[in-house]
Structure 1
Amino acid sequence: MLVASYFYSFFFRISASVVLPRIGAEWGLSATIIGFISALFFYAYACMQPISGALNDRFGPVRIVASGMLLTVISALLMGFANSALLFGIGRFLSGLALAPMLSGALVFQAAAFKNSQYTRLSSITYVVGNLGAVISVAPLELAIKAWGRQDVFIVLAVISLLIAIGLLTQKGRDPIRRRSNPGNQHKPPLSAKSESLRLRLRQAFLTLRRSVQLKALLVVWAVSTAALMVLQGLWAVSWYRSAYNLDLSAASGWATLIGVGVMIGNFVGGHFGNGPLQRRRAIRIFCTAYALCWLTLWLAVSVHLPIYITGLIGLLLGAAAGASHVQCTCAVNDIAPQGKGGALFGMMNLFNFITVIIFQSGTGYLLHWFPAQISGTYTAIGFLVVLGIVAGAVILSLAALFVLQPFSPEIMKEGGGIVTQCKATRHR
């Protein structure tokens, strides 16, 4: 059920690619407004990442994720019944708050409940199932909204979210984090101790990231990769394909779905490489370089107007490279994280990942505003080439950080533990 919750975080995140262009045309919204509404999810999601990761570490992911799913019910109903950009934006923002703990919750659970040697494979499975939400939210969501309408679709999402929350709450006693923190008949720690522990965990995560050259280099390629993927798959892929190839909405959504399918394939493949800290750097370098090359190839394919099936295949490969690299980056954070602090550190990394997503999504929306097409809410093919060419260039430039990345040797992995010791010493002064 934790993985199912992560599935929904991807579903709501990527669904903007279909829903926002539709309501943008219906309500006459500009590209800047569409980009801003889409980014509201990431404003909330980003700010909550370190906090939700620390909460998962401290209180256990089952309880925290269940609370998030309950808030998701409210956000889904708001987006389903919204009759203005303001109400839809509020729902989008709440969904970002609600779904922030999902991925770190699943990762914290698997780190606590399974052997470390299984972490890469389990992360691969988690990402595959989660990215299924990205696939389902493009073409199938478009068909569902056409058949049943936006309100009915989001009502169904709200009901499913409620059922997941109830299911999680019935299983909260099986959370390994809760069993570890409250063994036997020990009393629960007082609220003040919990608050202090949360602050300390956040500080430890920030110091680990700030002082680790390894993590900062990893963050550069990971953040730009994530932001570029969210710009393409989560916002502009459907509109770009429609503009370049004069496709109808259903056909463009179908070809855009291949990006999400590729991500799932890459997640699966990524779980079978670099299974160990010494091999991690090589896998990250290979997959990140392949991702940058796919971006360049996709841009060139659209610019010279290659057949859509070739462009769609390149999009599939781009998604696969992204999916594999993201699994490896996630496992790299676990390799270097202090024991029992992985959720907070992963959340701190994800904070900066999604700050980058916000910048990319808002920035591309602003730039596309200068390339309007004849129909309100649509943009010219040359505009997409210019704007997404800038995105491709950023991905290529981010590869420079790979030269700084060191092998994930035991010596590198000790960075985090040393910083935790420093934090504890500071606390007792």
Structure 2
Amino acid sequence: MMQAYRMSLQVNCSSRLCVQLLQAACLSTTTHNNTKNSYELVVVGGGSGGCATAAKFSSRLGKGKVVIIDPADTHYYQPMFTLIGGGMKTLQNSCKPMSKVLPKKADWLKQSCVEFDPDNNTVTTEDGSKISYKYLVVAMGLQLNYDQIPGLLEALNTPNSGVGSIYSPLYVNKTYEALQQFKSGNAIFTFPNTPVKCAGAPQKIMYIAEEYLRKHGKRDGANIIYNTSLGVLFGIKKYADSLWKVVESRGMTVNTRRNLVEVHGASKQALFQNLDDPSDTTLTDYEMLHVTPPMSAPDVLRSSSLVDANGFLSVSKDTLQHTRYSNIFGIGDCTNTPNAKTAASVAGQVGVLRRNLSAAMSGTPLHAVYDGYASCPLVTGYSKCIMAEFDYNGNPLETFPINQAKERRTMFIMKKYFLPDVYWYGLLKGYWEGPALMRRVMHLGLKK
């Protein structure tokens, strides 16, 4: 996931000032450990999955046996970006210097990975160095492809354009600015025709925006529109049913199978395509436009021999081991496991990866199985949240012995105040492996 933001930063930032502001916000540092050319374990990517994996195995293998390859100065807690877009948190609240979150016993190679050579057990970095490994974990996250929508980058980089996106640290503040500047007209929120990280976020920011406009006396003049490429509001029926009630009670419009294909910033219009009839396009005026960009695995991974036909790291959905190279594992959003791509999914995968990679290192069979656990705290405003939890099959896998499909203030408090600490001090340090144990306790051992 950090890789995705780094690539967004390189491609989309129009000036060095953007980079300087982001680095200053988190007091970033470029200091890193000395590295060598051969390691027991190489971890490519310093996001949540990479940090957690490196923390676990550098503690087990000892100092100097594990290296993390990632060029970013700053690590972001991305689930907070939705709250930042609604003015409830700041960008500074969401980040820490990378040097402060990476495990001290692991080396840090502050470089981009530019090539994988799994047949020779090496990766190549941007300075031409070849790093060899016995085992490799790929944790590169997703790449944000804002440039695939003509006119979007120009609109995002134009002051007071009304266009924002909570998916990038470059544009998340523009979302709140657009809310504050909104007068009347269409407020449009989009979901692209690609896999995305945190599939609930595109509508979470919509619910927050709607409540903001109500609180500030602008709701009567606003048309709230959600244009999604999907055929449903949310993929898990139990929670979708609750979300439809929220949408209907608050007078929002949902258009399914609608994909954003172009932005006309000068005229404040967005072009949408009907995915069921590609010849059918609609040009819609907007006062505010929130864009969820198309996403993919990073280009360097997509161009390697490690991916499936769709360009994602090819791993067993059960064991997280690569389907062709037994000494390679994957974790997080860059893999082709068919789960929702969320930070909670990474937590659910961490324990499976720990057990199976340890087994591979000791030459024993891999027994740990990932059940597809994912969680999406569906924030529906400034004080309520639906806490969706589910598995590979779309079955609810709820931690608490209550109906989590109901909007609750307690779940909002957990999302806003409790989960960030779980992330920084639990997941990144390798201690938090998801709520499975807590779920069994809460349900008196009657659930997984």
TM-score (normalised: structure 1)? 0.29
Structure with higher strand content: 2
Structure with higher helix content: 1
